[in-house]
A = this chain, B = another copy of it.
Amino acid sequence: MAITVVGSVAFDSIETPAGKRERCLGGAATHFSLAASFFTDVRVIAVVGEDFGKRQEAVFQARKIDTQGIEHTAGKSFFWEGSYLENLNEAKTHATELNVFATFSPKIPDVYRDSQFLFLANIDPVLQRRVREQMPDVKLVAGDTMNYWINDHRPALLEVLKGLDILLINDTETRILGGNSNLVKAAKAVQAMGPKTLVVKHGEYGATLFQSASAESESTFRVPALLLEEIVDPTGAGDSFAGGFFGYLASLPEITPAAYRRAMFYGSVMGSYACERFGTERIQALSREEIEVRFNLLHELTHLA
């Protein structure tokens, strides 16, 4: 079933030990959409400026992603510049220019309204909430956020969390949001804010799924990361993880506890591919068969027999 995603569609300038790219296609909604498109139909809500042209549009078209909800307006697209020269696990941000996102008011195209799955990628929680409110009848809502919103826009973020089934964030974000240095305790505190399912991403070490179906029924699942001989650019790895995770769930007729475990595997697979080249390059060139190959590798890497 179709996923509607709201989030940034942007240009990124990135420097890593493997090299540099100027103004390549990026943004959380872009990385998420491309990864999820291998599993189900994806529809994007975002805003772009005059610098977003046919070449960028073609990247979405090639993966049959619906871009009717991408608003084109005067000005420049969202821009981010960062580097990973000292630490491949964490970007150092050199510039963030909201540009056309500063005044964005998301509108949901009518053709998107039958989407059963909604993903609120990392943007201002005020925008996340506005989209959520316009789609009250979706079956499953997942979202992402970051330290900036957790630290400086907490009340708005807490409103968003109330309406989430699934939250995907990293270790540090979980500890800050949950107010506890112990991951298990922090996760419980975050789940109490709304999302019954919490996916904590550990970068090169993998990810953990915390689920509380009820006060009596809790379950956890951990998946280590695939081992990569070369990490070219980790930008978008978390969004690609989310795309694989949520895209797989949306592709199923029924979402069982076992499905969540397999979704963690697909998330991990998409996150690992995303790191192999700059920006969206590797995922653009990916095939469904390669996804299955790596799913099986991850099985072999983690299962006793």
Mark A residues whose CB is within 8 Å of B.
88, 181-185, 202, 204-206, 208, 220-225, 227-231, 258, 261-262, 265, 299, 301-305
With A205-B202, A205-B206 as given contacts, are A302 and B227 in contact (CB-CB < 8 Å)? no
- Rounded to whole Å, the gap between the CB of A76 and the closest CB of chain B is 36
* Nearest CB of chain B from residue A181's CB, rounded to whole Å: 8
Q: Within 8 Å CB of A88, what residues of B? A: 181
Contact B184 A229 (CB under 8 A): yes
Cα A228 to Cα B185 in complex, Å, equals 9
Least CB separation from A231: chain B residue = B182
Q: Beyond A222-B302, A223-B224, list 12 extra A-B contacts (CB 8 Å).
A: A182-B228, A182-B230, A184-B229, A205-B205, A205-B206, A223-B302, A224-B224, A258-B305, A261-B305, A265-B304, A299-B304, A303-B304
Centre residue among A181, A224, A265 by max chain B CB count within 10 A: A224
A305 proximity list for chain B (CB < 8 A) = 258, 261
Closest to A295 in B: B304
A216 to chain B, nearest CB (A): 17
B residues in contact with A183, CB < 8 Å: 204, 227
A184 interface neighbour in B228, B261, B265, Cβ under 8 Å: B228
A204 to B204 CA separation, bound complex (whole angstroms):
13
Cβ contacts under 8 Å, A206 to chain B: 205, 222, 224
10 contacts between A and B (CB under 8 A): A183-B227, A184-B227, A184-B229, A185-B229, A205-B205, A206-B224, A223-B302, A258-B305, A261-B304, A299-B304
Which of B202, B227, B228 has a CB less than 8 Å from the CB of A208?
Answer: B227
With A202-B205, A205-B202, A206-B205: A301-B229 Cβ-Cβ less than 8 Å: no
Q: A184-B229, A229-B182 are in contact. Are A222 and B299 (CB under 8 A)?
A: no
How far does the alpha carbon of A208 sit from the alpha carbon of B88 in the complex, in Å? 19
* Chain B positions within 8 Å of A222 at CB level: 206, 224-225, 227, 301-302
The answer to whether B221 and A302 have CB atoms under 8 Å apart is yes
A282 to chain B, nearest CB (A): 17
Once A258-B304, A303-B303, A304-B265 are accepted as A-B contacts, the answer to whether A208 and B224 lie under 8 Å apart by CB is yes
Report Cα–Cα, A115/B165, bound state, in Å. Answer: 56
Contacts of A208 in B (CB 8 A): 224, 227
> In angstroms, how far is the closest chain B Cβ from the Cβ of A103?
42
